Amino acid sequence: MPSRRSVLAALIAGVGGALAGCSFESSDDESPASDGETTADATVTPTATLTPTGTPANGASPTPTRTPSPVPTTAEPSPTATPTATATPTAANGERVARFSGEDSQQYDEFGQSVAADGETLFVAAPEDSHPDVGGAYGSVYVFDRVDGEWTQRAKLVPEAEALPFDYQFGTDLSVSGDRAVVGALEAVGTHELPDGGALVYERADDEWQRTAVLRSGAGQKHDGFGRSVALDGDRILVGAPYGDRADGTGTGVAYAYALADGRSATDTADRSSESERSAVEEGPAAGEWTQRAKLAPPDGGDHDRFGCSVALDGETALVGAYNFETSDGDNVGKAYLFERADGEWGHRTTLTPTADHDHEDYFGSSVALDGTTALVASWGDDDPNGFYAGSAYVFERIEGRWIMDTKLVPDDGEREQVFGSSVALDGDTALVGAEHDDTERDNAGSAYLFEPESGEWAQRTKLLPDEGTDSDLFGTSAALADGRGFVGAIHEESEGTDETGAVYVFST
C-alpha cells in the first residue's frame, strides 16, 4: 500500500488523492465483528491555542530521488549480535552527537522507519530489510547501547518463519521499556487488502535479546491490522488494530491491552475479554504469560476511523489516535481518545479534539505521545496557519483530573507541505516533532523541532536538521526522546556511499 510520502509527492505534483495519517490505505474492505471492548464516559473539546516562538538551530543538507523498493524475500534466524558504533562527546542543546546506520544496512532498508529508546538503549526498525534464508518474512530491528559515550550495535533482531503464519513485515512499530521490547509485524498484502498482524515481545537476559512471546488478536479478528502500532510500559502492552471492529460491527478500529499474568487464571479476572476474544500467545524461553486485559474501542465514530493507528501508554493511562475520524459533514478531521485503568478495569476517560480550526484532512491523531500528565497529538495535515499540509501538534495537560488543551505547536518557520507532525515524542517537559517534508536544506530533506515550556508557555527551542544526505531523505519520519537525548530517523538517507539505506541521528536535548 502506498505510504503517505508517495501520496504527498503525488499531491505536490498535482495528482489528486487523499492522504491518511499513519499511512495511506484502502478502506473498501470490511473486517469481522467482535465484542468485549471498553468504552464509557466523557468527551472534551477544549479551547485555547498558542503559536509558540523560539530559535532555529544548526544543520546541513543533501541531494537524489527515490526509486521503487524491491519486494524483499525473507529473513535470517533469531537475534544476531553484531557490534558497530559512532558517536561524539559533549554537546550543547540541540547539537548532533551521533549518526549511524546498521552495520549491514542496504539500499531501500528504510532504516529509521521507527525508533524507540529507553535510557541508554535504542531500537531502530528497518522494515524493508530482506532475508533470503527465511520464506516470506522480512524487516529487521537493530539494537544499540551507549557504552563509554559511544552508540554500539549490540544485536540485530530478525523475523523467524515460525513466529507468524503468514508472510510479514517485521518492525512496523517499536516500543522499549527497560529490558523488554515489543515489535509490531504486519502481513505483507496488496494495496487493496487488509493485513493480519502480530506483536512480538523480546526480553534481555545475560545481555542478549530473545523472543519470549507472540501476541495476536482474538478469534474472528484476522485482517484487523493488529500490530500496526505498539506501546510498552513495564509489564503492560498496548497494540493497535486500526481495521478492527468494535462490538456493534462498526469498523472504527480497536486497541488491545495486555499485562503479564499475575498467577490468576484468565477466566477469573473481571477486566478480561471473553475466551473467544482472548489473544493467542506463543511462549518462548523464559517467557511470562501475557494475557489480554481489555479491548478498547471509541465510544463514537464510524467505519474507517482508523482508531489504533497510533497508540501511547504510560502507567494506568492509554492514548489512542483515530486520525481518520469523520464528522457528520464528511470531514476527516481525526480524534484522540484517553483511557484509564481503575479498579482493574480500563475505561474511556475523555476524547481529545483541538480548537475550532479542526478541518477536513487535518488527520489529528496520526501520531501520539504520552508522559505523565501531558499528551502530545500530531495533526500533520493541518493547514492553519502555515498552509496546505503544513501540519501542527497539540499539547494537552491533565489539571485537577481534567484533560485540557494547553498549546498548539507550530514551527516558527512553518511552510506549506512541510508535514510538521509526521512523528512526535515526549519526555517530561521536552517535545520533539518531526517534519519529514521540510525543504530547508534540500527538497523533502526533512527537519525536526524541539519545544519546551518557557515562563509557563511552550516555545520552540531549536530546529534540528540533517548534516549529510540528499533530497528526499525524510529526516523526521520517526522521533524518540530518552535520557536527555533526541533520536530522529531519516529513512532515505545515504550511508557508507549507498543511497537510501536510512540513518538515525542522536541530538542532545
Residues 327, 334: Cα–Cα separation, whole Å: 9
Q: What digits encode the pLDDT tens for the residues 397-419?
A: 999 999 999 999 999 999 999 99
Nine cell digits for residue 262: 499475575
pLDDT band at 481; cut points 50, 70, 90? very high
Residues 230, 311: Cα–Cα separation, whole Å: 6
pLDDT reading at 18 higher than 50: no
| 55 Cβ neighbours under 8 A, 6+ residues apart | 412, 460, 461, 462, 463
Residues 102, 152: Cα–Cα separation, whole Å: 10
Specify the pTM: 0.81
- Residue 24 has a pLDDT of 42
Q: Are 242 and 228 contacting, i.e. CB atoms less than 8 angstroms apart?
A: yes
Average pLDDT over residues 435-447: 93
- Residue 291 has a pLDDT of 94
Q: Are 255 and 240 contacting, i.e. CB atoms less than 8 angstroms apart?
A: yes
- Residue 137 has a pLDDT of 85
- Residue 224 has a pLDDT of 96
- Residue 355 has a pLDDT of 76
Q: What digits encode the pLDDT tens for the residues 211-241?
A: 999 999 976 788 999 999 999 999 999 999 9
- Residue 92 has a pLDDT of 66
Distance of CA 56 to the CA centre of its chain: 25
Q: Residue 497 CB: number of other CB atoms within 10 A?
A: 6
pLDDT band at 135; cut points 50, 70, 90? confident
pLDDT reading at 465 higher than 80: yes
Q: What is the side-by-side order of every strand in the sheet holding 150-157?
A: 85-86, 150-157, 140-147, 121-126, 114-118
pLDDT reading at 51 higher than 90: no
Residues 244, 183: Cα–Cα separation, whole Å: 19
Residue written as grid cell 480500563:
346
Residues 65, 68: Cα–Cα separation, whole Å: 10
pLDDT band at 469; cut points 50, 70, 90? low
Average pLDDT over residues 501-509: 95
Q: Are 372 and 314 contacting, i.e. CB atoms less than 8 angstroms apart?
A: yes
Average pLDDT over residues 268-297: 58
Share of the chain above pLDDT 70, in %: 76
Q: How far is CA 140 from CA 1, 107, 117, 199, 283, in A?
A: 19, 14, 16, 14, 21
- Nearest residue to 257 (alpha-carbon basis) of 172, 345, 364: 345
pLDDT reading at 113 higher than 50: yes
Least confident window among 16-30, 102-116, 238-252, 491-505 = 16-30
pLDDT band at 76; cut points 50, 70, 90? very low
What is the average pLDDT score of the chain?
82
- Residue 147 has a pLDDT of 94
Q: What digits encode the pLDDT tens for the residues 356-391?
A: 678 889 999 999 999 999 999 999 999 999 999 999
Q: What digits encode the pLDDT tens for the residues 322-343?
A: 999 998 888 899 999 999 999 9
Average pLDDT over residues 84-99: 65
User: Of residues 455 and 393, which shows the higher confidence score?
Assistant: 393
Average pLDDT over residues 83-96: 58
Instruction: Give the chain's radius of gyration (CA, Å).
Output: 21
The third-level CATH classification (topology) of the domain covering 4-80+229-508 is Methylamine Dehydrogenase; Chain H (2.130.10)
- Residue 67 has a pLDDT of 36
Share of the chain above pLDDT 90, in %: 66
Average pLDDT over residues 468-486: 92
Query: Letter for the amino acid at 201?
Result: V
Least confident window among 32-41, 165-174, 296-305, 356-365 = 32-41
pLDDT reading at 17 higher than 80: no
Q: Are 308 and 228 contacting, i.e. CB atoms less than 8 angstroms apart?
A: yes
- Residue 304 has a pLDDT of 93
pLDDT band at 256; cut points 50, 70, 90? very high
pLDDT reading at 264 higher than 80: no
Backbone angles phi, psi at 195, to 5 degrees: -85, 145
Burial class, 16, CB count within 10 angstroms (exposed 0-12 / middle 13-18 / buried 19+): exposed
- Residue 91 has a pLDDT of 53
- Residue 156 has a pLDDT of 97
Q: Are 1 and 29 contacting, i.e. CB atoms less than 8 angstroms apart?
A: no
Greatest mean pLDDT among 39-43, 57-61, 332-336: 332-336
